[in-house]
Amino acid sequence: MSRTKTSIKHTVSQLLSTADIRTEGDRPWDLRVHHGGFYDRLVASGSLGLGESYVEGWWDCDDLSGFFHRLLQADLHERARSLSPLAYASAAIRAKILNPQHASRVFRSGGAVHYNLGNDFYRSMLDSNLMYSCGYWKEAESLDQAQTDKMDLICKKLSLKPGMRVLEIGCGWGGFLKHAVTRYGVRGLGVTISKEQAALARERCDGIDAEVRLMDYRNLIHSNERYDRIVSIGMFEHVGPRNYRTFMKVARHCLKPDGLFLLHTIGGNRSDAYADPWFDRYIFPDSVIPSIQQIGRSIEGLFRMEDWHNFGPDYDKTLMAWHSNFERSWAEHRDQLGDEFYRKWRYYLQSCAGAFRARHIHLWQLVLSPQGIPGGYQCVR
- Pick from 313, 329, 330, 337: which binds its own copies (CB under 8 A)? 313
Q: What one-letter code names the amino acid at 255?
A: L
Residues binding its own copies: number (CB under 8 A): 40
Using CB under 8 A as the binding rule, the residues of this chain from 54 to 113 that contact its own copies are: 73
Nearer Cβ to its own copies, position 59 or 308?
A: 308
- Pick from 150, 275, 307, 352: which binds its own copies (CB under 8 A)? 307
**With contact defined as beta carbons under 8 Å apart, do 148 and 318 qualify?**
no
Nearer Cβ to its own copies, position 73 or 99?
A: 73
- Pick from 294, 318, 350, 351: which binds its own copies (CB under 8 A)? 294
Of 32-40, 100-108, 124-132, 268-276, the window that binds its own copies (rule: CB under 8 A) is 268-276
Question: Under the phi-then-psi rule, with left for phi > 0, alpha for psi from -120 to 50, and beta for the rest, what region is 378?
Answer: beta
Of 11-19, 60-68, 218-226, 352-360, the window that binds its own copies (rule: CB under 8 A) is 352-360
Question: Which residues have a catalytic role annotated?
Answer: 352
- Residue 217's H or E segment, with its range, is none
Of 34-42, 221-229, 264-272, 273-281, the window that binds its own copies (rule: CB under 8 A) is 264-272
Nearer Cβ to its own copies, position 180 or 368?
A: 368
Enumerate residues 6+ apart whose C-beta is below 8 A from 71: 16, 19, 21, 77, 354, 358
Neighbour-count burial of 207, counting CB atoms closer than 10 A to its CB (0-12 exposed, 13-18 middle, 19+ buried): exposed
Instruction: Give bridge partners of residue 263 from the DSSP assignment.
Output: 232, 366
Spatial CA neighbour of 98 closest among 90, 108, 86: 90
- Is 257 an interacting residue with respect to its own copies (CB under 8 A)? no
- Pick from 314, 320, 345, 353: which binds its own copies (CB under 8 A)? 314
**What is the longest distance spanned by two Cα atoms in the chain?**
73
Instruction: Give bridge partners of residue 363 from the DSSP assignment.
Output: 266
- Is 301 an interacting residue with respect to its own copies (CB under 8 A)? yes
3-class state of residue 213 by DSSP:
strand
**How near is the Cβ of 311 to its own copies at its closest, in Å?**
6
**How near is the Cβ of 363 to its own copies at its closest, in Å?**
9
- Is 25 an interacting residue with respect to its own copies (CB under 8 A)? no
- Torsion, Cα of 10, 16, 18, 22 (10° steps): -90
**How near is the Cβ of 268 to its own copies at its closest, in Å?**
9
- Pick from 46, 110, 174, 312: which binds its own copies (CB under 8 A)? 312
Nearer Cβ to its own copies, position 72 or 130?
A: 72
- Pick from 98, 215, 221, 379: which binds its own copies (CB under 8 A)? 379
Of 28-36, 128-136, 244-252, 294-302, the window that binds its own copies (rule: CB under 8 A) is 294-302
Q: How far apart are CA 142 and CA 130, in angstroms?
A: 14
Nearer Cβ to its own copies, position 128 or 293?
A: 293
Nearer Cβ to its own copies, position 207 or 376?
A: 376
- Is 304 an interacting residue with respect to its own copies (CB under 8 A)? yes
Enumerate residues 6+ apart whose C-beta is below 8 A from 301: none
Buried b (16+ CB within 10 A) or exposed e, 129-152: bbbbbbbbbeebeebbebbbbbbb
Q: How far apart are CA 353 and CA 16, in angstroms?
A: 19
> Which stretches of the chain bind its own copies, using CB under 8 A?
73, 269-271, 291-297, 299-301, 304-314, 357-360, 362, 369, 371-377, 379, 381
